């Protein structure tokens, strides 16, 4: 780990960004160029103290997951992301099916403030969410290991993972999850993280094993779905998916037709965010 290079690189990239570049309001007059340390920490979902210590050459070696969060927060290109991993003492991540979100895709996400939107990997991992997606689905940034994949959670923890879907839609969702993972497994190979997911789920879930034997393959999201929010109830939403060129990631956006009950519920969700409606 090259602490000096890491600290200098983080500072330089932070100073090169403006709040508007990452979807933040400018606010009061700013004395320093670029983003503040607390803004980078917020975007990367880490403490301000932790990030400050990295810039001051006092921090511990960041994990690969932490580096991925910093790469997204600082809008790094793939080459810059690889450099960040090297100076932090890690191998460069696999670019195929990895967790690095292209800056151009993040800029689109930054501008989607009134609709739930998130970037997903082809393994069903939530790579980044906007505030509306956090309010609707909850914060998914805390999952680690196989738990990061929605496909894994769907079959390993069905009681919690399926609670947002009506019972009469869960069988279709199960088939879609397996078909999507088979598509990713075919693209990435048996020795990839997709292959690891398949092997784990074949051991743990008879339901997954039965569906896997059907050899259904698909990556398309449903155009329309009903979601069950614990306080808002059912929301009928339209679903649009924008895939990256290599099909390894997609930007998922959920909207409601104007003047509908679902649109009113989304507007209420935008105001209240993650607060309890009883507060």
CATH number at residue 195: 3.30.450.180
- Indicate the angle between helix axes 170-188 and 193-204, nearest 10 degrees: 140
The pLDDT assigned to 278 comes to 47
- Say whether both 71 and 175 belong to one domain: no
Q: Which residues of the chain have pLDDT under 70?
A: 27-30, 32, 94-99, 220-222, 274-279
- The count of domains in the chain is 2
Could you tell me the pTM of the whole model?
A: 0.72
- Say whether both 165 and 267 belong to one domain: yes
- Say whether both 266 and 135 belong to one domain: yes
Residue 109 belongs to a domain: yes
Residue 93 belongs to a domain: no
Residue 10 · residue 63 · CB < 8 Å: no
- For the chain, the maximum distance between any two Cα atoms, rounded to a whole number of angstroms, is 61
- Say whether both 112 and 73 belong to one domain: no
- Say whether both 36 and 163 belong to one domain: no
C-alpha atoms less than 13 angstroms from C-alpha of 239 in its C-beta half-sphere: 15
- Say whether both 54 and 164 belong to one domain: no
The pLDDT assigned to 275 comes to 62
Residue 74 lies in domain: 3-87
- Say whether both 82 and 109 belong to one domain: no
CATH number at residue 79: 1.10.260.40
Residue 10 · residue 17 · CB < 8 Å: no
Q: Is the dihedral of CA 198, 203, 205, 210 positive or negative?
A: positive
Q: In whole angstroms, give the CA distance from residue 57 to residue 91.
A: 20
Final residue in a domain of this structure, among 87, 115, 136: 87
Which token pair is 58? 């006092």
Residue 16 belongs to a domain: yes
Final residue in a domain of this structure, among 38, 59, 87: 87
- From residue 273, give the alpha-carbon distance in Å to each of 24, 26, 136, 211, 266: 17, 21, 8, 36, 10
The pLDDT assigned to 88 comes to 94
> Mind listing the pLDDT tens digit for each residue in 64-79?
888 988 998 898 888 8
- From residue 58, give the alpha-carbon distance in Å to each of 35, 40, 273: 20, 17, 35
User: Which residue intervals of 163-205 are DSSP H helices?
Assistant: 170-188, 193-204
- Say whether both 77 and 109 belong to one domain: no
- Say whether both 26 and 73 belong to one domain: yes
- Say whether both 129 and 56 belong to one domain: no
- Say whether both 14 and 149 belong to one domain: no
Burial readout 90-106 (b: 16 or more C-beta within 10 A, e: otherwise):
beebeeebbbbbbbebb
């Amino acid at each position: 780990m090259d602490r000096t290079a890491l600290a200098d690189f983080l500072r330089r990239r932070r100073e090169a960004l403006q709040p508007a570049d990452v979807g933040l309001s400018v606010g009061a007059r700013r004395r320093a160029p670029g983003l503040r340390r607390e803004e980078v920490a917020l975007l990367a979902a880490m403490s301000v103290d932790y990030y400050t210590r990295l810039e001051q050459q006092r921090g511990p070696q960041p994990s690969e997951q932490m580096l991925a969060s910093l790469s997204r927060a600082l809008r790094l290109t793939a080459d810059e992301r690889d450099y960040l991993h090297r100076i932090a003492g890690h191998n460069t991540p696999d670019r195929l099916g990895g967790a690095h979100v292209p800056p151009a895709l993040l800029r689109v996400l930054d501008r989607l403030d009134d609709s739930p939107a998130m970037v997903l990997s082809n393994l069903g991992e939530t790579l980044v969410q906007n505030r509306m997606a956090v309010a609707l689905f909850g914060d998914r940034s805390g999952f680690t290991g196989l738990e990061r994949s929605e496909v894994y959670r769907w079959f390993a923890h069905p009681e919690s993972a399926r609670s947002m879907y009506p019972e009469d839609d869960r069988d279709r969702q199960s088939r879609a999850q397996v078909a999507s993972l088979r598509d990713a497994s075919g693209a990435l190979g048996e020795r990839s993280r997709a292959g690891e997911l398949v092997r784990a789920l074949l051991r743990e879930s008879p339901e997954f094993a039965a569906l896997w034997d059907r050899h259904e393959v698909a990556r398309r999201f449903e155009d329309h779905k009903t979601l069950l929010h614990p306080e808002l109830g059912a929301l009928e939403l339209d679903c649009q998916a924008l895939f990256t060129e290599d099909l390894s990631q997609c930007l998922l956006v959920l909207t409601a037709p104007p003047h509908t009950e679902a649109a009113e519920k989304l507007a209420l969700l935008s105001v209240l965010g993650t607060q309890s409606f009883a507060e």
